[in-house]
Structure 1
Amino acid sequence: MLSTDPRPIAVTIHAAAGTGAGADRRIRLPRRGPGRDRDTVRSSIARVVVTAALLAVASVTVAPETSAEGPALPAGSVVPDQDPFYAAPADIGTYPDGRLVAAREFDPRMSVPVRAWQLSYRTNDSHGNPILAVTTVMVPTTPWTGPGPRPAVSEQIPEDSTGTRCAPSYGFATGTSQAGNQITKMLGNGWAVAIPDFEGPQSAFLAGPLSGHAVLDGVRAVGQFAPAGLGPDTPWGLHGYSGGAAATGWAAELQATYAPELRFVGAAIGGVPANLPVVLKNVDGGLFSGFLVGALVAAPREFPEIRLDTMLNERGRADTAAAADLCVLELLTRYPFWRLSDASVGDHYREGSPLIEVLQRNSLGEVAPTIPIYNYHADTDEVVPVAQADELAASWRRGGTAVVTARNPVGEHILEGGRSEAAAQQFLRDRFTLDTPVTDMDIDRPVPLSR
């Protein structure tokens, strides 16, 4: 929505690391519209296996150690919980959805020439309450030579974490994000890229509506930030894998009613955990059960009706307390083979339980997006079962969404994300450059046809 609110936007321009430009400068811009018993050997082996595998995941952010002494840190190098930039203004509720609050430039240390900023903006949690969110926007410094305005992609990196130090914005500002390669490829296409912290200020992992709001309002905020050079005519694509695909799916489902003014050409989602009860039951007790622990920690922050205090036993309460501020790699290496039945009282997977009810509410498939979708997945995905992704595609098609499904007959969850990245980008490239409508298609290879 557009607004004529005359209040200025606070913009902090920070010297990039190593530039010697001195102290931060704040300028004012006019506002514009819109415990556990474990077999020691088994646990050790699991930790090695999971760690080695996850090093290949583009989503992992490892929070650096910081010191109270020494030179001033570059912009964005302070943990979000301690950084005033991430603090919502007292009157955040008076800001329209997507209203830009503040901005600061930083050095993302990319291998391609770009300018990068962190933008804070008003969005809403899953219940419609106003919150502050942050997105990272990168724009190539080379001129756009393609037809029409420079395209942009909102890239949802799978944070899958319980602490704000794992947020993408912090990872890029500190140079610790491992998602640089995929972002570099998009920038190399000449596209601008926005990377929202879609878990919000409480790291509410798996909070579906919140994530969709944060993605869409992040795009709105970028459009208000003149230095990025993106405006109302900018064509946008959406992309995300795994946890990032869930956020992308929520943005696609909500866009027509929440942000109808935004121009999206399509969305690519891979390894999508669409049916959360199915996915979490699948990882329970297995190598990737850290995802379940993370969900149990983070979801009650947004949905307190889960009532962990009465749901868990002593062991479960100790485990979840220890997991309150962990990134995805830490969750998976600390909690392999963790079972909810060993850590709780009663059957919490029964239909109608508070846990299942919340998970169902945060699952995809109730609303059909109005933009074309590329849905890719490995048939042998051991973390996120492909059947529930197939069910999502079928549900969306019944609602009128054009969906291309690509199924890799050989692969698993982590490797599929990297292996099919080029195909996902090709789908978006076609949407940016071709006028031919997308029609439903099922292909058994990870490379989509240009249409």
Structure 2
Amino acid sequence: MQSVKHVLAVTALVVLHALMAFADPLPPSIDRFYTPKNDDWKGKEPGYIIDHRPIELPSLVPGAESPLTAHQLLFVTRNASNCPTTSVTTVIRPQHANPNRLLSYQIAYDSADVNCSPSFGLQKGAQLNARLWNQIQMAFVLPYLMSNERPLGKRPFINIPDYEGNNAAFTVGPQSGYHTLDSIRAALNSPNYTGINPAARAVMFGYSGGGLASEWASELHASHAADLNIVGAAIGGPPPNVTNTYIHVNGTQSPLNIWAILGVMNAFREVDDFMRGDIITQYGSFFLGPLTRCSNPELNPPKIPSNANVTSWFKSGDEFLFRFKHILDENGAMGRLINKTHKPNFPLYIYQGTDDNITAPIGDTDQLVSDYCKAGTKVRYVRYVGRDHGQTLIAGMYPAWTWITARFNGVSVLQCSVKDVTKDDGGDDDDDGDHAEIAGKGFGAGLEEAASFGQNRLSSEDL
């Protein structure tokens, strides 16, 4: 009888484990994985892994099992005030992955709701809004998720951090930068879980909000993580100045302004107190609704009209832009930290549309590039003439992939360069400055060309 009970108990445990393995994931706000079990981590260095777990990813092909495996890391990092905190990153291993390469992909999840974080939205069975916001953007790194057994086709591991942090501080630049850099360090500290080489070379990539995180990580690299083996950063559609962006898009892309204000409020108590007290009552649900955008609320918050004048929602109008100018400048104005003794030691690829309708006037990006070049950082800057935010995302995708692959293969960037790409050019950046022939041949041809340029710099182990 006892043996039967034992068998039943073991069977029940196996069944329970199987059910748990296929259960829908919990959102970060209630998932215990996101909260350290004790305070031991507070004395650890950035990038220290507190906890880890495997997760299940959805398949890229409906009805088939995913060939990708993934591991999540709870790690030590810094917040906007450079104080210890924690965050989570997702490390994806494609089939036939190259353990010597790490692509840190910063997804533009643009939200003040922690339950929109990639670590949740990328998982199989995640809540719909979080899935849509994150999984669709995996198309922007699709070539690196594909399987290929040829040596030159081996894919990098992919690191996808929750760079807004456990308080969803959207547009708070330094926090996003710290979290991105420390997530790379955590990924390199994870060979026992992921199989990545701790000495792997890393490239950062992000567009829009992901470009914001990638730029701030580049800007903070010299002071916060100069020892990290980062060999390049591709930054698309960045918002170099959040105040200018607010003014630029108010009345045309107003939801973005709401998400940005809420993100700053999440990071700074004095901003939160003021904004909650200043909002006009009739706009309260419009303004605070996005705080639960991915939290599956029982009642959907009212939709924010794209043409809303957000400034008119507050008793003091746009006073908050001036009252908190020090916070907005320190956390939302790129380029302040760049000088000849404080700059990234890797090249940058920056691209933006001259008619960008989401981030900021093109002049802000021009100035940012100028700041980097004057400091001695090599920048390949591509301006898509007459294109808006979405059009530049599509037009710039293949050239960005080619540039990233060239960085992995050791192709040198010798100087700063600027290229204006017009619609008459077919939308392609066909001049890589130092190796003009690489970028104009499409991803496949460019990949092979980039590899051939880098052959004499690499060992067979690196390919």
TM score, norm. by length of structure 1: 0.78
Residue 75 of structure 1: how far off its partner (Å): 6.9
2:288 corresponds in structure 1 to: 321
Given the superposition, is the C-alpha separation of residues 441 and 305 from structure 1 closer, same or farther in structure 2, using an over 3 Å criterion?
Answer: same
Q: Which aligned pairs between 1:262-277 and structure 2 lie closer than 5 A?
A: 262-277=228-243
| One-letter code aligned to 1:88 | P
CA distance in 1, matches of 2:403, 2:302: 32
Check the 8 A contact 1:252/1:267 in 2, yes or no.
yes
Size of the aligned set, in residue pairs, is: 380
**Could you say what secondary structure the match of 1:151 adopts?**
strand
1:383 aligns with 2:333: no
CA distance in 1, matches of 2:50, 2:314: 42
1:77 aligns with 2:45: no
1:95 corresponds in structure 2 to: 44
Output one character per residue of 1:221-248: Cα deviation in whole Å (capped at 9) or x when no partner.
1111123222332010011100110100
| One-letter code aligned to 2:80 | S
1:294 aligns with 2:259: yes
CA distance in 2, matches of 1:318, 1:195: 32
Q: Which aligned pairs between 1:13-28 and structure 2 lie closer than 5 A?
A: none
Aligned pair partner of 2:349 in 358, 369, 374: 374
Given the superposition, is the C-alpha separation of residues 165 and 74 from structure 1 closer, same or farther in structure 2, using an over 3 Å criterion?
Answer: farther
Q: Which aligned pairs between 1:425-444 and structure 2 lie closer than 5 A?
A: 425-444=401-420
CA distance in 2, matches of 1:379, 1:297: 28
Check the 8 A contact 1:406/1:444 in 2, yes or no.
yes
Given the superposition, is the C-alpha separation of residues 76 and 434 from structure 1 closer, same or farther in structure 2, using an over 3 Å criterion?
Answer: farther
**Could you say what secondary structure the match of 2:367 adopts?**
helix
Residue 184 of structure 1: how far off its partner (Å): 2.6
Check the 8 A contact 2:97/2:156 in 1, yes or no.
no
* Percentage of matched positions with identical amino acids: 25
2:138 corresponds in structure 1 to: 180
Given the superposition, is the C-alpha separation of residues 365 and 423 from structure 1 closer, same or farther in structure 2, using an over 3 Å criterion?
Answer: same
1:58 corresponds in structure 2 to: none
CA distance in 1, matches of 2:420, 2:301: 33
Aligned pair partner of 1:153 in 95, 103, 125: 103
Structure with higher Rg: it is 2
Q: Which aligned pairs between 1:198-209 and structure 2 lie closer than 5 A?
A: 198-209=163-174
Aligned pair partner of 1:106 in 52, 55, 65: 55
Say which structure is richer in helix.
Answer: 2
Aligned pair partner of 1:86 in 31, 34, 56: 34
Aligned pair partner of 1:141 in 90, 95, 113: 95
Q: Which aligned pairs between 1:153-172 and structure 2 lie closer than 5 A?
A: 153-172=103-122
Check the 8 A contact 2:203/2:231 in 1, yes or no.
yes
1:412 aligns with 2:412: no
**Could you say what secondary structure the match of 2:398 adopts?**
helix
| One-letter code aligned to 1:372 | P
2:374 corresponds in structure 1 to: 398
Check the 8 A contact 2:112/2:266 in 1, yes or no.
no
Q: Which aligned pairs between 1:179-258 and structure 2 lie closer than 5 A?
A: 179-188=137-146, 190-226=155-191, 227-258=193-224
| One-letter code aligned to 1:415 | Q
CA distance in 2, matches of 1:427, 1:292: 32
CA distance in 2, matches of 1:143, 1:238: 17
CA distance in 2, matches of 1:283, 1:372: 30
Q: Which moved more, 1:194-203 or 1:435-444?
A: 435-444
Check the 8 A contact 1:154/1:238 in 2, yes or no.
yes
Residue 277 of structure 1: how far off its partner (Å): 0.7
CA distance in 2, matches of 1:350, 1:225: 43
Residue 331 of structure 1: how far off its partner (Å): 9.1
Q: Which moved more, 1:168-177 or 1:306-315?
A: 306-315
CA distance in 2, matches of 1:76, 1:264: 35
2:3 corresponds in structure 1 to: none
1:358 corresponds in structure 2 to: 327
CA distance in 1, matches of 2:390, 2:200: 32
CA distance in 1, matches of 2:266, 2:211: 21
**CA RMSD between the two structures:** 2.5
CA distance in 2, matches of 1:228, 1:432: 20
1:284 aligns with 2:250: yes
Q: Which runs of 5+ in 2 are unaligned?
A: 1-12, 61-65, 126-130, 147-152, 422-427, 436-463
Output one character per residue of 1:13-57: Cα deviation in whole Å (capped at 9) or x when no partner.
xxxxxxx985559xxxxxxxxxxxxxxxxxxxxxxxxxxxxxxxx
Output one character per residue of 1:124-150: Cα deviation in whole Å (capped at 9) or x when no partner.
111122222111111123154xxxx63
2:83 corresponds in structure 1 to: 129
Check the 8 A contact 2:254/2:310 in 1, yes or no.
no
**Could you say what secondary structure the match of 1:118 adopts?**
strand
Output one character per residue of 1:393-445: Cα deviation in whole Å (capped at 9) or x when no partner.
11111222111110111321123213311211111111111342331011123
Output one character per residue of 1:94-145: Cα deviation in whole Å (capped at 9) or x when no partner.
222111111111221243732211111111111122222111111123154x
Given the superposition, is the C-alpha separation of residues 81 and 229 from structure 1 closer, same or farther in structure 2, using an over 3 Å criterion?
Answer: same
